[in-house]
Amino acid sequence: MRLLEYQAKRLFKEYGIRVPNSYVVRSIEEARKYSNELGFPLVAKAQVRVGGRGKAGIIKVCRDVYELDRTVDSMLGSDVKGEIVKSILLEEFIPHDRELYLSIFLDRSKRRYTIIASNEGGVDIESVGDKLVRPVDIFNYDANESVMDEVASYLGLNEGSIDFINITKRLLRLVNEKEAELAEINPLAVVDSTIIALDAKIIIDDNALFRHEELRVFEEQGIETEARKSGFSLVELDGNIAVVGNGAGLVMSTIDMLSDADGRAACFLDVGGGATLDNIYKALTLISRLDKVKAILVNLFGGIVDTSIVAQAIMNAYKDNVINVPLFARIAGRNADIAKDMLRNSRAMMFDSVEEAISHAVNAVKG
């Protein structure tokens, strides 16, 4: 779960990592009200979970109320790489001398946590050549003293080094206690001898949320979260063909083949291991809520899948008006002949190969 900037900064504050004064606003009225508290100039930052916000033009310095009005008006409700801006963080403007980069993240290949620091803050760390990467032990803070000293001296922090080391220790504690996969401060601003986190990015291990009820408030409400509660996994995409299957790899693979055939997926939907009547019906119900869906592509594989049950679920969904778009399926399993027969007079078609199902789906949305 990736937190929004303001949510991550709330955690920073809780852990004693200094952040600028700020308010979250969801309307022009709120923005005006809180701008009085903050004063001008201030920084308006759209709250979305996508990277590169600076480049996307959704972080703006406002010098007066007119600029604020205009900025808030254009940001709220706008679509940034498929995500709608619902809130804006208004933040005091902090003049600073230097921008640093600091992150602690789980290095999958080394199978341990790693600290990355750089003098080039404020840009994408991937593009930065000059950076220090060191392993850290998030379970035993004291074991990291020498690494911290090394990082502080690498960054050339003299009077600020005590403050920096404190922040790093707190970040380590946050990563450990909240089970984060990543905690990133970019940029980390140096103002005289103090250090302030101007941005905040935290990714929490979704699978650890059962141990962190306190983080549930940050969960995004929407179709993806709802799918998760049914044991599915759904990712909204920007095409018009809904892709459903059993198994994440199989669904990804189906979407790859679909895009090779010039089709575009409206969503990724993995119904997990059990392709049961209830599950398939529930999956179709979720899909029905995505207006952009013009066709459904189903790819199920498994020796123990009874395809006639899947066909029954599809028939029921049409009968109950849950779905009203054509459906193209490749279902490998038992009773395929019975299933084909059942679907003969419906808007669903069954094929022996996924390639055939895909080409029919692509043709159907061409209209």
Partner 1 sequence: MLVNSIDIFSILQGNASDDNYNKKPVIVQGMTGKFGSLHTRLMYEYGTNIVAGVTPGKGGQSFDGIPVYNSVKDALKDHKAEISVMFVPAPYFLDAATDALVNGIKLLVAIPEHVPVRDTLKCIELARDNDAVVVGPNTPGIIVPGVMKLGIMPAQPFSKGNTVVISRSGTLMYEISYRLTLAGFGQRLCLGIGGDPINCLTLIECFELIRNRNDVNSVVVVGEIGGSAEEQLAEYIIDTEFKKPVVAYIAGRSAPKEKRMGHAGAIVYGSYGSAESKVGMFAKAGVPVAKRPAEVPVLLAEKMGAYQADHDK
**Residues in contact with partner 1 by the rule CB under 8 A:** 2, 49-51, 82, 106, 108-109, 111-112, 124, 126, 179, 181, 205-208, 210-211, 233, 235, 237, 245-253, 255-260, 265, 268, 270, 273, 301-304, 332, 353, 355
C-beta of 265 vs 317, nearer to partner 1: 265
As measured in angstroms, the least distance from the Cβ of 259 to partner 1 is 4
As measured in angstroms, the least distance from the Cβ of 249 to partner 1 is 2
From the candidates 5, 120, 184, 236, give the one annotated as an active-site residue.
Answer: 184
101 included as an active-site residue: yes
As measured in angstroms, the least distance from the Cβ of 107 to partner 1 is 9
C-beta of 208 vs 315, nearer to partner 1: 208
C-beta of 38 vs 208, nearer to partner 1: 208
184 included as an active-site residue: yes
As measured in angstroms, the least distance from the Cβ of 314 to partner 1 is 19
C-beta of 168 vs 299, nearer to partner 1: 299
CB 149 within 8 A of CB 168: no
**Could you tell me which of 303, 287, 276, 277 has the C-alpha nearest to residue 244?**
287
Sign of CA dihedral 3, 6, 10, 11: positive
From the candidates 6, 101, 113, 281, give the one annotated as an active-site residue.
Answer: 101
C-beta of 76 vs 237, nearer to partner 1: 237
C-beta of 93 vs 301, nearer to partner 1: 301
As measured in angstroms, the least distance from the Cβ of 282 to partner 1 is 16
As measured in angstroms, the least distance from the Cβ of 51 to partner 1 is 7
Enumerate the active-site residues. 101, 184
